[in-house]
Every structure is written in C-alpha cells, then in structure tokens.
Amino acid sequence: MLNYNVSLDLIFHALADPARRIMVERLSKGPASVSELAEPLAMSLPAVVQHLQVLEASGLVHSEKVGRVRTCRIEPRVLSTAEQWISERRTNWENHLDRLGDYLDELSDETD
C-alpha cells in the first residue's frame, strides 16, 4: 500500500484552485491582509475568506486578526512538503528514464 498522507491531500486540494494559487503566490512575497489578497480577484470578500479557510485547513496559510485587520502569512514548511513529494516523484522518473537510456544504448551497441 502507498504511504498515504492526509495533509498532502489537503495541500494539493488547496493548490488545485487558481484563486488560491494566486493568494499563495502573493503571500510568498510577504504577509498580506485579506483585503490585499482580494484585490486582484474577481470575487466577493466572503468568497475570498472561504478560499482562505481552505488554505488554512491545509496548513499552507496562517492568519492572525489584530483589531479589524486579518493578516495572512504563508507557512513555507508546509509548502515544502508538497515540493518534496513532487521532487521524489521526479527523481524516481529520472532514474527510470536513465535506465531506459542505458538499455537503449546497449541495444544500439549490439546492433552496430
């Protein structure tokens, strides 16, 4: 059975939506208020808040309310979890392709 990781599922679910990816992209530059995150998006503030809730549930984003302003920050450690998973898959496929290349080289040498 595969190593099943619920948090990884939540991360990829959160990143599956283009609006949430825009928010993550913005937050990768530094903290931002909910209003700042909503600016480039063509959606209502309540819709933005719902997207932020998905990002927070995945652990990608942490928010803190001070007075009337809710400030969001990215959690780089959580984002690196997804990056590591993708990197491991890429390495695995590169190894497979390297072995295939070696095999094809051997076949080519035999026919020469």
Enter the DSSP assignment of 70: E
pLDDT band of residue 110 (cuts 50, 70, 90) is: confident
Q: What is the pLDDT of residue 54?
A: 97
How large is the average pLDDT for residues 37-60? 96
- pLDDT higher for 103 or 11? 11
Q: Name the band, by pLDDT with cuts 50, 70 and 90, for residue 2.
A: very low
Tell me 30's DSSP state.
S
Domain parsing of the chain, residue ranges: 6-111
Q: Distance between CA atoms of 90 and 93, rounded to whole angstroms?
A: 5
CATH class of 6-111: mainly alpha
Q: What pLDDT score does 4 carry?
A: 53
For tokens 């400030």, name the residue: 71
